[in-house]
Structure 1
């Protein structure tokens, strides 16, 4: 298993190193020891799956507020999607910046999402599934988000027309980078 840095502080790409033979392949998709060696002490408490019937389905940009901030490792297990994260840690050197990459069943990449980051994606193919490993239990009372097309972030989505988006994801308010304080990785809200 290989761990690659991204342009955003503490976020990482995880790549499998398959061992192949005539039967197929074997590869580690998660290893606490390897992640810790890269400064990512991830402790999984829950896994989730989201299945999307249609291409152009957009989910995001989600995160949980303290004390239930969560890290995630996300993997596309079927189909293809464009995965996006935003660093909302006010004291981070990459605060307010976004990063996106294509995750697919074919490329087998995973994205490590640190605490204090918003996460979302848009499906590029029909019948797309995404698997989440998370470090905190889902806590609806502490669920929050930022709007997928908020001009404060300027995310360059590969698809922007005829999207399928939930009413909840459409209603997130605009974010003010100069005023709004968000979740820090230590679980403190600054505002």
Structure 2
């Protein structure tokens, strides 16, 4: 696998090695050994999968507070998404900055997002499936979100959202999120 750091320190685009022939293809989507060798000592505990029926479905920007913060490894297994990570660690020189990657079923790329980052994506096609691993369990009492269109963050979404959940429509701005308990660790 090949790990390429994005413009945000700690957020990596992962390109797995894909072996193909006339029958199709094979790849390791996760190998603890390979990830540890690449400098990602993460222990995933939960796998999640989402389906979005319509192009322009936006999910995010989501996070979980400490002590239930989550690192994630995401991939799109059907369709295409524009995937985003936002640094929300207090004291970080990257605070409020974002990085993105287009993940598709065809390119098989994955995005690794460490703890202390909000995450969101918009679907670029109909019928999209996203799968991701998390290194901590879902905890509704620690669940939080930030407005997808917060002007202080300034994400350049490639298309306008068509579908948002009520939760994401009502999300506060990053500056209004006083409960954020992530700190930057040099």
TM-score, normalising length: structure 1 = 0.90
**Contact in 1 for aligned 2:18/2:27 (Cα 8 Å):** yes
Q: Is the 8 A contact 1:73 1:113 kept in 2?
A: yes
Within 2, Cα distance between the matches of 1:13 and 1:91?
24
Q: Which residue of 1 aligns with 2:168?
A: 169
Distance 1:50 1:42, change over 3 A: same
Spell out the pairing of 1:25-174 with structure 2 (5 A cutoff): 25-160=25-160, 163-174=162-173
SS in 2 for 1:91: coil
- Provide structure 2 residue ranges, at least 5 long, that are not aligned to the other structure: none
Aligned length: 185
Q: 1:37 offset after TM fit, Å?
A: 2.5
Residues 102-160 of structure 1: CA deviation (Å, up to 9, x unaligned):
11101110000100100000001000000010001110111001100001100000112
The one of 167, 180, 186 aligned to 1:182: 180
| C-alpha separation in 1, matches of 2:90 and 2:182 | 7
User: Contact (CA 8 Å) 1:8, 1:98: kept in 2 or not?
Assistant: yes
Bigger mean CA offset, 142-151 vs 12-21: 12-21
1:169 aligned counterpart, secondary structure:
helix
| Superposed CA RMSD | 1.9
Q: Is the 8 A contact 1:88 1:183 kept in 2?
A: no
Could you report, residue by residue, the CA deviation over 1:144-182 in whole angstroms, capped at 9, with x for unpaired residues? Answer: 011000011000001125x200110111111229x9573
How far, CA to CA, are the matches of 2:31 and 2:183 in structure 1?
A: 21
How does the TM-score come out when normalised to structure 2? 0.93
Q: Which range is displaced more, 152-161 or 72-81?
A: 152-161
Give CA deviations for 1:37-72 in whole Å, capped at 9, x if unaligned.
232211111101100010010000000011100000
Change in CA separation of 1:183 and 1:12 when aligned onto 2, cut-off 3 Å: farther
